[in-house]
Amino acid sequence: MPQPSERPVIFLVDDDPLVIQLMGRALASLAEVRFATNATEALTRIKDHPPELILLDAQLGNAHGLDVQTQLQQDPLLAPIPVIFVTSHDEEALEVAALEHGAADFITKPIRPARLVARIRTHLENRRLNRQLRLLATQDGLTGVSNRRAFDDALDVHWRQAVRTGEPLSVLMFDVDCFKAYNDHHGHLAGDDCLRRVAQALQQQVLRPADMLARFGGEEFVMLLPGTPEAGALHLAQRVLVAMSDLALPHGHSLAAPYVTVSIGVACAHPATADQSPDRLLQAADHGLYTAKESGRAKACAAPV
């Protein structure tokens, strides 16, 4: 999703360059406009850079807009993007079929720029409001990072994607060492501030857009790393240990160090392998975390899936 400071992206798919030119000029004040003139190019470019909205011609040469929409809906990362069909006045049957397939709206030819801009402005505003609502529903209220629900959804999406691509999927599971002792001696308000600062330190290590940090529960956090092998996950875990040392949040009652530390469990799955599953990946990360805590805390241990 684009950041608030970025212009939204609208993707136009039409085999008539004049229509693309007309719509592009009209929408340039609202968004960055990208386009393709055939279905194959459109699907490739949309998957590489998902837009906010897609305006899709009902008929693309030998391809049908409904077929393109179906392929978009089969990709979990693209399915939520609203598809607005561009149709002619006599395509009522198509409109009914497209609605049944999840079309967000219709724009009829010939294109009327003022009406086009008004309709698209409304859809962009709806997307912005929906994103805010999703953020509230998926954000941990204390630390501001993603919550468990958001993590579970992301794990499901990236697992299915990795099944198709054959890429690895890694998880880091973190536990704040001796956190009960911290709460007992500093109070729960200080404990809440500790969790916020730990979350900030962990979030600063999330460098790729697809990577995700979430609060797993209590003083536990989890990081999802798509396309990352075990060696890469262990390298990131070591960076986190250094970051916690640099944070240097005093903890005079820890058994691991005079400052707040985390123990880390590392696990890497290859979802294309038949005997692996998301549950086994999380169980392995939890086992690695247990090993790290039992062997002295403030370290990272990997466990097989």
Q: Are 177 and 254 in contact (CB under 8 A)?
A: yes
Token pair in block for residue 218: 């209590």
Reduced to 3 states (helix: H, G, I; strand: E, B; else coil), residue 180 is helix
Q: Give the E-state strand segments of the chain in sequence order.
A: 9-13, 32-36, 53-57, 59-60, 63-64, 83-87, 105-108, 169-176, 212-217, 220-226, 262-269, 300-302
Strand partners, 268: 170
As a whole number of angstroms, the distance between CA 305 and CA 303 comes to 7
Token pair in block for residue 181: 């002792």
User: What's phi and psi for 271, nearest 5 deg?
Assistant: -55, -25
- Virtual CA dihedral for 147, 150, 156, 159, nearest 10 degrees? -70
Reduced to 3 states (helix: H, G, I; strand: E, B; else coil), residue 111 is coil
How remote is the C-alpha of 243 from its chain's centroid?
Answer: 24
Reduced to 3 states (helix: H, G, I; strand: E, B; else coil), residue 158 is helix
Q: Is 219 a catalytic residue?
A: yes
Strand partners, 217: 220
Active-site option among 219, 220, 230, 294: 219
Q: Are 201 and 247 in contact (CB under 8 A)?
A: yes
User: What's phi and psi for 303, nearest 5 deg?
Assistant: -135, 145
What are the catalytic residues?
219
